[in-house]
Amino acid sequence: MKIAKIILAGATTLCIIGSGALAQQARTGTVTKIDRIHGTVAIQQTQSGTVGANTGGAAEEFKVQNGLSLDTLHAGDKVTFSATETGGSKTITRLQKQ
């Protein structure tokens, strides 16, 4: 029984570490909406894959981490960003206009 608990704990740790690494992976997309008052931005992510892949995905809304400025950002801008998810809320931790 102890061995099973150790294996389960190890697998859980690997899953947590792996999901954190994926959350910080840089993604690209197009800004569709900016709410400067509430500090949120909606981004439609660029579809990766084969030529002719469907690019009609819905935009996701993200909170913007304190310290990141939305002043120079406008709808239609192409951006590279990293985001984390905490408690069901997605927050942009890095945002760069292309």
**Per-residue pLDDT tens digits for 10-69:** 666 555 554 454 456 889 999 999 999 999 999 999 876 666 555 567 889 999 988 888
Total tally of structural domains belonging to the chain: 1
Amino acid at residue number 58? A
Q: What are phi and psi of 12, to 5 degrees?
A: -65, -45
Q: Which range marks the domain in which residue 42 is found?
A: 26-97
A 10 A CB-CB count for 13 gives 10
CA gap 96, 98 in Å, rounded: 6
Amino acid at residue number 97? K
Please report whether residue 37 resides in a domain: yes
pTM, to two decimals = 0.68
CATH number of the domain enclosing 86: 2.40.50.320
pLDDT tens digits, one per residue of 60-93: 999 998 888 899 999 999 999 999 998 888 999 9
Strand 60-64 vs strand 27-35: parallel, antiparallel, or unpaired?
unpaired
The residues pairing with 35 across neighbouring beta strands, listed in sequence order, are 40
Is the CB of residue 76 less than 8 Å from the CB of residue 98? no
